[in-house]
Structures are given as C-alpha cells and as structure tokens.
C-alpha cells in the first residue's frame, strides 16, 4: 500500500514576488516581472531583458558570512527553503531529522561564481581563485546547504535535468515518501543563470526573445508572434509530507501530490520530439500513477516557453493525451509573467498549481494577442479566470529530451 503525500509548506523567490503570496498575487493580476537586465552590461548582447529577482536582502535569511561564501543559486534556494519550512510549522527540534530529506534541483548551478572566478584566473593567476569556488559552483550544493542549514539528514541530493530539474526533484521526493524511504522532504528547484556567459550561449542559439523595447510583452507563449524565451531566476521549494504525520501534528495542507511521470525524447539536443511524443508519455504516466482521468484535470500549468517548437508540440501533446477534454481544460503559461526560470521553473509552477486549487483561480497567459493556428487550445488569455480546480497538472520539459509531469489535487479529508 502506497503512502499518501501532501504539501504542507511553500516558499518562492521570483521576478514577480519574493514570497509565495506576493508571487501568486502578481500572477493573478497578470503582472510581468520582465525588464532590462541590471546584473551586467548587456550592450553587446542581442537580448537585453530578463526576469531578475530584485529587492531581496539575503542577510534577512542567511548569515552574512555565508552570503559572501555562497553562489546566488544557493542563496535563492536557501531563502525559499527557509520560507517553506517556516510555513509548514515543522518543529525540527522535535523531529527525527534522519527521516526528512532534501531534494532540490538546478539546471546549471553556480554560474555566477564560475564566471567570476574564471576571470580572476585569467587576469590574476591561479593563486587568486577562491578556495570556495568548487563548493559554491557545483550543482548539488543548494540541496547540501539547505540540509546543513536545518540539520536534515535524510536523502539529500540534486536532480540535474535542465528545465525539468525541479519537477524531477519533486517527483523523486514524492516517490521516496510514498514508498517509505523518508517521511518528509524539502523539494523543488533553484536557478540563477542571468550571467554574461549564459546569455551569450542562449543568444548564439537564437533561443531568447529580442523584443527589448517592450520587455513586459516579450514572453508570449502560444502566440503567433512569439520569438523565444525570456530568462528568469528564482526558486520554488515545498515541503512534502506523509499524510498521517501531517494530520497528527495539525498541519495546514495545500494539496495532495497524486501523480508523477517522467520520460525521455531520445531525439535531439534541444528540439522537442515531433508531436511532443515524450511529453505525451510523461502526461500519460502521471495520470496513470495518480489514478485520475483526463476529464478530471481542471488546469494545466504548461511548460509554455514562448519558443516556436515547444509551444506547438506541447499543444499537440495535450490534444493527443486529453482528446475532447483538451478543449475544456484551462491551460496557462505563467512564464509569460516570470520568464523561464530554467531548472527552478517546475518548483514555482508547482506552487502556482497548488494555489490555483486553493483559491479556484486560473492564472492567465499574458501577451496572448495573435492566436497561432497550430496552438488551438484554451490558454486562459490575458486575464485570470475563476473556476473550481480539483486537479491540476504541471508540465516541464528540458534540453536533452527530459520530460516531467506532476499532478496535484485538492485535499478534502
């Protein structure tokens, strides 16, 4: 008999809000967090816009000494994890910490640190490179630092699967609690890739939008004029917990995690498989593991990156999986407001899916003006919609052909 898994705490740092409720309020209002890049000089870059996390004082949450010794990706994850733990009401002093794990993914890890220290190496020689370079840079360190900050001694690692990293982390944590390997987990993703080298690479691929004059309109998923994704940064972390222990301690429950699906395209480095074949498989697997029919899904938080092929093939995949129900389900891409948080996207979008269930509100896809005949579904254009949401699906797909779908449902006892 599988154990049931619920969500008892949430934490978010994002371009539209530095806590979960501010993030959600911005999404429901259709407010974009995309603007001109301030992190570095973008004069020579074709893309000059991004979704930056702003006005976040890390020292409110992390010891100033540790702030100086941590990459931005680590810090964003530490803040979101602390928020989630505090929100959960878990009293760690009375918990068996060997039964609480940390699975927090990142797509690229400590790029800020790697680039800064490489410049030191070239300009000033190897003796000036920081001894903290490696622990600040490696992708597993957000999970490691969260574990150390709170004394959590259960399973502890990072999933690295590009833009699917957070959803795979959530899925792993869900399965491990479900089968009894741990009782609770800090799970999600973090990313801080708004750096010169990252921008240069994505610009060379012509993957990012160049609508620099209208940054808040640049991310336009499923719209015919979409011209590429807009990079964002941040972290989305939740507390997953076995149901009976959550009830025993009187925890508030945001929802129940019910299903998880993961597949590989085995097709191309960056392009999704034709007709979203891998995405179809992930959605079908999630539905089967949840025991939920396609007609029961009320909301899909789509991957919806605002790139031509992703949006087309995700739409086709949803049509193939959902059949007639595809016309009735509300779909939206919250990346139209946050930008694409890469390895953290599945974490913040999981929170958005939970809050859609909690409040009965579907956040919109903003900047949807010119319908694309190859994307012919209900993308909840430009304004939030109130409707009861019992089950929600969140999709994330990554370079390398990594696909993940998760399903959450309303917990009503």
Distance CA 218, CA 256 (A): 34
Dist CA 9 CA 101 (whole Å):
14
Task: Please give the DSSP secondary-structure letter assigned to residue 368.
Answer: -
**From CA 37, how far away is CA 162, in angstroms rounded?**
22
Regarding beta strands 330-332 and 299-301, do their DSSP bridges make them parallel or antiparallel, or are they unpaired? Answer: parallel
Active-site residue (options: 28, 145, 163, 375)? 163
d(Cα 271, Cα 288) in Å, to the nearest integer? Answer: 26
The number of residues in the chain equals 413
- Options 28, 340, 375, 402, the catalytic residue: 340
Q: Does residue 402 have an active-site annotation?
A: no
Instruction: Point out the catalytic residue in the list 28, 303, 375, 402.
Output: 303
Q: Is 163 an annotated catalytic residue?
A: yes
* Tokens read off for 58: 């890390």
CA distances to 82, 220, 310 from 351, rounded to whole Å, are 15, 21, 22
**Residue found under tokens 């507390």:** 239
Phi, psi of 107 (to 5 degrees): -75, -40
What's the Rg (C-alpha) of the chain?
20
For residue 179, count other CB atoms closer than 10 A to its CB.
10
**In sequence order, what are the residues at sequence separation of 6 or more whose Cβ sits closer than 8 angstroms to the Cβ of residue 340?**
163, 219, 229, 230, 231, 232, 305, 306
| DSSP type of residue 11 | E
Residue 271 annotated as catalytic: no
Question: Cβ-count burial of 256 within 10 angstroms (0-12 exposed, 13-18 middle, 19+ buried)?
Answer: buried
* Distance from C-alpha of 288 to C-alpha of 263, rounded to nearest angstrom: 14
CA distance 156 to 346: 19
Residue 308 in tokens: 């031509």
Q: Any alpha helices (H) in 205-307, and if so which ranges?
A: 243-248, 277-290
| CA gap 396, 389 in Å, rounded | 20
- How are beta strands 402-409 and 391-398 bridged, if at all? antiparallel
Active site residues: 163, 303, 340
């Amino acid at each position: 008999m599988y154990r049931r898994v619920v969500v008892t705490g949430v934490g978010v740092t994002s371009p539209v809000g530095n806590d979960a409720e501010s993030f959600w309020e911005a999404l429901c209002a259709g407010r974009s967090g995309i603007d001109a890049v301030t992190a570095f000089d973008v004069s020579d870059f074709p893309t000059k816009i991004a979704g930056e996390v702003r006005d976040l004082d890390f020292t409110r949450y992390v010891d100033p000494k540790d702030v100086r010794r941590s990459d931005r990706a680590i810090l964003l994850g530490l803040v979101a994890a602390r928020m989630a733990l505090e929100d959960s009401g878990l009293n760690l002093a009375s918990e068996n910490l060997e039964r609480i794990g940390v699975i927090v993914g990142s797509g690229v890890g400590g790029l800020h640190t790697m680039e800064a220290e490489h410049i030191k190496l070239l300009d000033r020689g190897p003796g000036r490179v920081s001894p903290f370079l490696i622990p600040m840079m490696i992708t597993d360190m957000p999970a490691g630092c969260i574990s150390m900050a709170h004394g959590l001694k259960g399973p502890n690692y990072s999933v690295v699967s590009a833009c699917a990293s957070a959803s795979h982390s959530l899925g792993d944590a869900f399965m491990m609690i479900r089968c009894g390997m741990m009782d609770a987990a800090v799970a999600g993703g973090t990313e801080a890739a708004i750096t010169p080298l990252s921008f240069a690479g994505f610009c060379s691929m012509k993957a990012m939008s160049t609508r620099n004059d209208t940054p808040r309109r640049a991310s336009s998923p499923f719209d015919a004029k979409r011209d590429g994704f807009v990079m964002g940064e941040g972290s989305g972390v939740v507390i997953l917990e076995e149901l009976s222990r959550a009830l025993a301690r009187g925890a508030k429950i945001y929802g129940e995690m019910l299903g998880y699906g993961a597949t590989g395209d085995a097709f191309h480095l960056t392009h999704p498989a034709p007709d979203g074949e891998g995405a179809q498989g992930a959605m079908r697997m999630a539905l089967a593991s949840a025991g939920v029919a396609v007609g029961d899904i009320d909301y899909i938080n789509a991957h919806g990156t605002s790139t031509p092929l992703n949006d087309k093939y995700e739409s086709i995949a949803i049509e193939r999986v959902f059949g007639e129900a595809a016309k009735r389900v509300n779909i939206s891409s919250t990346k139209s407001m946050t930008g694409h948080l890469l390895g953290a996207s599945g974490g913040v979008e999981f929170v958005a899916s939970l809050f859609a269930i909690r409040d009965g509100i579907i956040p919109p896809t903003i900047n949807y003006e010119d319908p694309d005949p190859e994307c012919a579904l209900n993308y909840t254009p430009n304004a939030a919609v109130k409707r009861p949401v019992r089950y929600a699906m969140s999709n994330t797909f990554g370079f390398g052909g990594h696909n993940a779908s998760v399903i959450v449902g309303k917990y009503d006892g």
